[in-house]
Structure 1
């Protein structure tokens, strides 16, 4: 089916079915909630209702408990009103209402007691005084400029409503801003909020003592037994004598925590005034187990059941090199591999050396490949880059096709940018991946080619329980022909994280009875998730895509359906039932992994 035919004939039916599934899910959820609310109302509805201005309704409902039992006499009424006067007055004071009127009366129509809350005038800030003591108050242009900047950044300014949470937050931000640079021992010496209830005004004053200016001193390492101190000192982002910066201290701690050699890390300085000129930086470590053997198992509808055995050595050759070796046996794929990683440097760069052997039998295509490579990797903030040189030899045997042995030597570059709220269970954010690589007949390759690939995924929260997920990927290998190029540098589609409703790597180029990789690929996904609880949810989705030998031969295959989602302790699990639009077949897509 061509692109125009797909949008003309396929989209209406697909959209109608997806919309119907979504409506059924939401209708069932809505009825369940309504029934639960009605049941709760019949069994625990309060005998007193609250009447208050809209902005204060949620505050009172969430923090003031209404009586469940009826108020039968004056004694019960007086007891309730004393509690209401005290608790509601305290609640309203946090929002700047200091003269509320609270009355209890019967509603004329329903004869139900109504607690009427009239908050009175709101208090506004009319004056703010922020003074500084200590080294920061020294008459120097740089310090004066910093003080003016701190005052300008004060969040509870004149003219704003006085709220206790905002008052506490403003002080915390001020203290953090001062203590984050130079002044590790800064503290608020005095703070006052003078409220005049008669005029509904508040005057704020803060006196902050910065203390002396701190500089980093020598490194003091505790708990290091197995490794050379250079493993720690090589990641220090500051020098002895540099001005104290809290963000540098936290960055240093994070880098150490990310090293597999340590199970816990704490980095601090002594904020005592006596050592401010060279405050010792204390690093307290707990070393992780140097060697580990682990086993695991799982199942995926892509490659079937699997078992795996892995070995890790975090101190290979006693040089803090990390050795990883693994054997994975799946029904459709078997892999034996090993990698050696160096320790990341100050810039977040490290080198990897790896080799492996893999056999696959997927869609009547058997491949046996040997590979080896070296790469330079870097992790900087949300971006991860990789530049690698890879050699690969592949023996491919399609059922009913021609056996070939292909060899290539590839320069491969990869960029991945990740910006999500939760790396394991994202609800908001995106992940983008770019990859470009190629080989030449002039350098150990059987074919000239350049492979390009881009993938983008986005998550959009819709309310508290809904998430819209979009995914798109596009790949093309520039080459005279697909022959002579290993399958890793070509494209097939279908299965989990591709086009559901079709078997794993079912979409590609037919060769004999097998499906082999083509030079072009495009796929996309739109998925809507609803979470019934924090752990369990449901989804509806539509996938589209194909792989072929040229872009013009791409035939958009559509799959759609629904599934179950589970935020398991080891990661997200998806169980999907999808229908292939082309042949009407239903397929179950599922994966789970267990370590032991």
Structure 2
């Protein structure tokens, strides 16, 4: 005779109430222990003897996870130290433990387990012996069907139809999947997050039910979601904008009145305000008590100090210890631009720079100018360079643009100490379409750099420099992670590049190009053994990133397996790729992604460790 279907909820554990079962007799030994004829002077510092156990407990299962789960959560564990238990009381506890064990297994999707309880008194495990339970979970239950019910505006508004369909199509516990309480909870939470993410920030789960049919070992799911009214953004309510004004906040936030609510828009506005450097903390939220037709957006700020010093001490994987100092002035007197001065020193690189950035206008374009001086040891050569730049930049939601004039000067060791100079006009364009930053799991990014200039000196040679790079993240599934595909290609078009500064040509190698090789160590091999920059660049990478799980639960760590290749030459027919491959780890740290890679350079037959922080494209 089959048992009827029964609902499964999150609170399905049986609780054994020991005091009611044992009565006042159980308290007598405790009262006796409180009485002693010894005075404090006769007491010793020795620890009290361990209380003898009434019984031992052993859970046996072919699945280590099931064994550990039941051992940890069975209430029977709490009663092992009650030495005055008798056989009758233990039998009552075992009946309760059998019920609880079946309920615990039910939360994992096992509704037809076989449990065999036994008692072994041959060992020295307490007065009642060793209690053993052999667990055969049987097959896991599977979802037979999912019934959806939609209430509120989302059920009737044609504009919300795509959002509704996306929630149902991306449901993570469809028919045929193995059922568990955790999977059921995760699926419901994801569906609710998708509903709240756009148009309906006040949506809710009105009703949910998982109904188990034990004879068929199947589960039927019902879920009712209520969207509430659609919400559009109202006026910004800004607090804390005392030094730098509310106008700048409005321009950086880019949340126009009347725009349909999207949770990601508020997060991106918050990120833009934080990364602007003018604010130490930013919190952007929707006023829950506002009118849904135009709900006010609250922007709470803590402004940065007008001036700030940052001193740093760090380590680079390639050049050892590094000392740095940075000074920021958020409103230079008379100019009201922000200035950032930096100084960095290690054994391979000494760098000094100054950047001046104007406040954004109504279209978010900003004037900027900068100067940078570097003295760097690049693998087997030394390079002294300087760069002066002036132009405008616009940082958008998905697209960044910039145009600027630039002066370059470089002196390469072994090049007769001649200084090469050039002046150029440049344009940069970057498009990003990633699902989230700074921890993207899917998406595409493309960047283009284009410049045209002329060399300076006795012989003036015009040239065109271009560089295209791309990054694609392709998801493979929840457990398989994703593929990261990166490519970079560029060239300098000129009749003669001998008078061009080295900084306008190409090297590759290092953390973000070909791992296993030192930074900028892949170039053109000269007759004297120096690795010089070249006019053609081609590089690419294929990386498999997979989440690291512990007992089925995702962690903040991922593993990576990769292969990189890159080549630099003065003739396309001479592009011979240098290969690097290896393994690595990724950590979702509070300051952004941390990458640790151990790479093998095939051409050098050497291992190299690479460390880097942050996601940039």
TM-score normalised according to structure 1 size: 0.66
How far 1:58 moved relative to its partner? Answer: 4.4
SS in 1 for 2:330: strand
Instruction: Check 1:563–1:318 CA distance in 2 against 1; reply closer, same or farther (3 A cut).
Output: same
Q: Is the 8 A contact 2:421 2:457 kept in 1?
A: no
Q: In structure 1, what is the Cα distance between the partners aligned to 2:500 and 2:429? A: 19
- Equivalent position to 2:495, from 480, 484, 487: 480
Q: In structure 2, what is the Cα distance between the partners aligned to 1:577 and 1:180? A: 40
SS in 1 for 2:492: strand
Match of 2:149 in 1: 130
Match of 1:265 in 2: 282
Q: In structure 2, what is the Cα distance between the partners aligned to 1:577 and 1:245? A: 41
Q: In structure 2, what is the Cα distance between the partners aligned to 1:573 and 1:121? A: 38
SS in 1 for 2:99: helix
Match of 1:232 in 2: 249
Match of 1:81 in 2: 94
- Equivalent position to 2:354, from 302, 327, 338: 338
- Equivalent position to 2:569, from 531, 548, 569: 548
Within-5 A mapping of 1:60-139: 61-65=68-72, 74=87, 78=91, 81-94=94-107, 102-104=115-117, 113-117=132-136, 128=147, 130=149, 132=151
Residue 58 of structure 2 corresponds to residue 47 of structure 1: yes
Residue 532 of structure 2 corresponds to residue 516 of structure 1: yes
Within-5 A mapping of 1:565-576: 572=594
Residue 292 of structure 2 corresponds to residue 279 of structure 1: no
Q: In structure 2, what is the Cα distance between the partners aligned to 1:209 and 1:457? A: 39
Match of 1:437 in 2: 451
Q: Which moved more, 1:181-190 or 1:251-260?
A: 181-190
- 1:2-55 residue CA offsets vs partner (Å, 9 max, x unmatched): xxxxxxxxxxxxxxxxxxxxxxxxxxxxxxxxxxxxxxxxxxx9733136xx8x
How far 1:479 moved relative to its partner? Answer: 1.4
Residue 308 of structure 2 corresponds to residue 295 of structure 1: no
Instruction: Check 1:48–1:385 CA distance in 2 against 1; reply closer, same or farther (3 A cut).
Output: same
Q: Which moved more, 1:172-181 or 1:142-151?
A: 142-151
Residue 467 of structure 2 corresponds to residue 453 of structure 1: yes
How far 1:338 moved relative to its partner? Answer: 1.5
- Equivalent position to 1:391, from 362, 386, 406: 406
Q: Which moved more, 1:296-305 or 1:120-129?
A: 120-129
Q: Is the 8 A contact 1:409 1:443 kept in 2?
A: no
SS in 1 for 2:451: strand
Q: In structure 1, what is the Cα distance between the partners aligned to 2:202 and 2:336? A: 36
Q: Which moved more, 1:288-297 or 1:309-318?
A: 309-318
Q: In structure 1, what is the Cα distance between the partners aligned to 2:177 and 2:565? A: 52
SS in 2 for 1:380: coil
Q: Is the 8 A contact 2:522 2:568 kept in 1?
A: no
Q: Which moved more, 1:451-460 or 1:306-315?
A: 451-460
SS in 1 for 2:331: strand
Within-5 A mapping of 1:314-463: 314-317=330-333, 321-343=337-359, 350-360=366-376, 362=378, 363-381=380-398, 385-394=400-409, 396=411, 398-399=413-414, 401=416, 403-415=418-430, 417=432, 423=438, 434-440=448-454, 446-454=460-468
Match of 2:328 in 1: 312
How far 1:519 moved relative to its partner? Answer: 1.7
Instruction: Check 1:560–1:369 CA distance in 2 against 1; reply closer, same or farther (3 A cut).
Output: same
- 1:207-229 residue CA offsets vs partner (Å, 9 max, x unmatched): 66655555544332222221211
- Structure 2: which 5+ runs fail to align? 1-55, 121-129
TM-score normalised according to structure 2 size: 0.64
How far 1:246 moved relative to its partner? Answer: 4.2
Instruction: Check 1:358–1:410 CA distance in 2 against 1; reply closer, same or farther (3 A cut).
Output: farther
Q: In structure 2, what is the Cα distance between the partners aligned to 1:324 and 1:572? A: 25
Q: In structure 2, what is the Cα distance between the partners aligned to 1:177 and 1:574? A: 33
SS in 2 for 1:411: strand
Match of 1:490 in 2: 505
SS in 2 for 1:225: coil
- 1:321-362 residue CA offsets vs partner (Å, 9 max, x unmatched): 432112234445433321223456788765532223334465
Q: Is the 8 A contact 1:98 1:123 kept in 2?
A: no
- 1:85-124 residue CA offsets vs partner (Å, 9 max, x unmatched): 23223234435666765332599xxx99552446699586
Match of 1:22 in 2: none
